[in-house]
Amino acid sequence: MPAAILDGNKIAAEIRGEVAAEVKALSAAGMRPGLAVVLVGNNPASEIYVRGKVKSSGEVGLYSEQHTPSERATTQELLELIAELNRRDEIDGILVQLPLPPHVDSKKVLLAVDPAKDVDGFHPMNVGFLSTQRPGLVPCTPAGVMEMLERSKVKVAGQEAVVVGRSDIVGKPMAMLLLNANATVTVCHSKTRDLPGVCRRADILVAAIGRAGMITKDFVRPGATVIDVGMNRVTDAGGFGRLFAGNSKREETFRNKGSVLVGDVHPEVAEVAGAITPVPGGVGPLTIAMLMSNTVKAAKMRRWSHVAELART
């Protein structure tokens, strides 16, 4: 029996609907949440991502603004922009679109974002809150995966979970969220011995390694839930043939566009998995939905704490 498809578009639409209702209620109380996106230079891929984020903000009713410093902007100029956004009370979330130009100290810029407005969840303070199970802002992609598992009624507590990839953005926070949800978690990477054997132990396998179709059938225990976080563009005919030979729909896309999107999981895995996320239409839509959700969460945490402080004085 082929794997059940975990529909990220459907779940993201549910989350956006819930966020829109919250934004409406907060706005009626004079607390419309606000998101500022900083896009430095003219990176075409980043521009597409930012357009999607700004569009989604409008759809759920968030106030949003875009700041577009030039490619030549210095680290100091970006720090001054971040400081200004930190001071503005109507801005609840600040998102610095990566990558930044090579001459900019990216770590310094990200560290300058007020942790209470860090809707990407990258600040060390939010990382610490996550690791110690305190309220904070969680990276959007791993948070989206947890929403998908919960809303799809995939059991997490007591299950063996394997995360392939150890990035600060996905792999590490994903492992921490699964651990906090009472899974037994193994994190794998390029130095892991017998990677297929370790992955085959998983009830829940999360692939976030950034290599097209790397996770094949022999990595997957029959019936496992497979979450594909990867998003890779295949442009060569050889790579396409390895992944999609005989898939007429994908072949037509490849002929027309000269490329096709594929995750870190080989399409053949759908033959053995119990449930799987598609690419596209799986984890991707949830990342933007959780950015909207994080902005609302930041607004409530920030502004309600201000109200509480005023009440005490």
Rg of the chain, C-alpha, whole Å: 20
Q: What are phi and psi of 113, to 5 degrees?
A: -70, 130
Active site residue 97: yes
Give the span between the Cα atoms of 10 and 17, in whole angstroms. Answer: 11
Q: What are phi and psi of 13, to 5 degrees?
A: -65, -40
The runs of H, that is alpha helices, within 113-235 are: 124-131, 140-151, 171-180, 195-199
From the candidates 92, 97, 203, 297, give the one annotated as an active-site residue: 97
Q: Tell me the two tokens of residue 131.
A: 């690791």
From the candidates 92, 114, 118, 120, give the one annotated as an active-site residue: 120
Active site residue 108: no
Give the span between the Cα atoms of 29 and 260, in whole angstroms. Answer: 46
CB 228 within 8 A of CB 213: no
How many CB atoms are located within 10 Å of the residue 187 CB?
Answer: 20
Residues 125, 128, 132, CA angle at the centre, nearest 5°? 145
Give the span between the Cα atoms of 117 and 177, in whole angstroms. Answer: 20
Give the span between the Cα atoms of 35 and 98, in whole angstroms. Answer: 16
**Residues catalogued as catalytic:** 53, 97, 120
